[in-house]
Amino acid sequence: MSLTHKITFALNGKPVRADADVASSALELLRGAFELGGTKLACGEGECGACTIIVDGRSRNSCLMPAVDLEGREVLTVEGLWREDGIDPVQQAFVDEGAIQCGFCTPGMIMQTKYLLSRNPDLTAEEAERGLEGNVCRCTGYKKIIAAAIGAGTGARD
């Protein structure tokens, strides 16, 4: 028998409610109850960053975060980057730099980049490398990803 808690939180700018299973992760809740498949499950152990979301302004591995801990938080997933006037500057920078192959790591890379740029819009290559070292890509190598993170800085300021 599973035990659930009713939780309320802000998801991509909108107030939401959910029955959160105490044994479930935030990742499972977002992908299941809210059908937000952009946040990926890869390692499930906090080692790859594919599940990165932003909670109260900080990046988190949603596979390790209990769903019930979303109570009262402000949560941003990659789906929340959609803008009326087009895609987010960070997403555009990944496209422009060709920093995507299979794309499985990309939402996590983009969310981590958003977080890094929110703290420092003028990332150096070294800072971008350090900030993204918890995000694993099996396809592209990291050169283009780092270039995208740095290149996104200007557009991400607005």
Q: Which residues of the chain form contacts with ligand FES (CB under 6 A)? A: 41-44, 46-51, 61, 63, 100-106, 137-140
Give me the least distance between CB of 158 and ligand FES, in Å please: 27
Q: Which is nearer to ligand FES, 7 or 106 (CB)?
A: 106
Written as six digits, the tokens of 42 are 């890869």
Q: Which is nearer to ligand FES, 127 or 142 (CB)?
A: 142
Give me the least distance between CB of 140 and ligand FES, in Å please: 5
Q: Which residue has the tokens 């996590």?
A: 108
Give me the least distance between CB of 48 and ligand FES, in Å please: 3
Give me the least distance between CB of 59 and ligand FES, in Å please: 11
Nearest to 75 by CA among 55, 99, 96: 55
Q: Which is nearer to ligand FES, 83 or 138 (CB)?
A: 138
Concatenating the DSSP letter of every residue in 25-82 gives BHHHHHHHTT--TTSPPSSSSSSS-TTEEEETTEEEETTTSBGGGGTT-EEE-GGGG-
Pairwise CA distance, residues 150 & 136, whole Å: 18
Q: Which is nearer to ligand FES, 65 or 68 (CB)?
A: 65
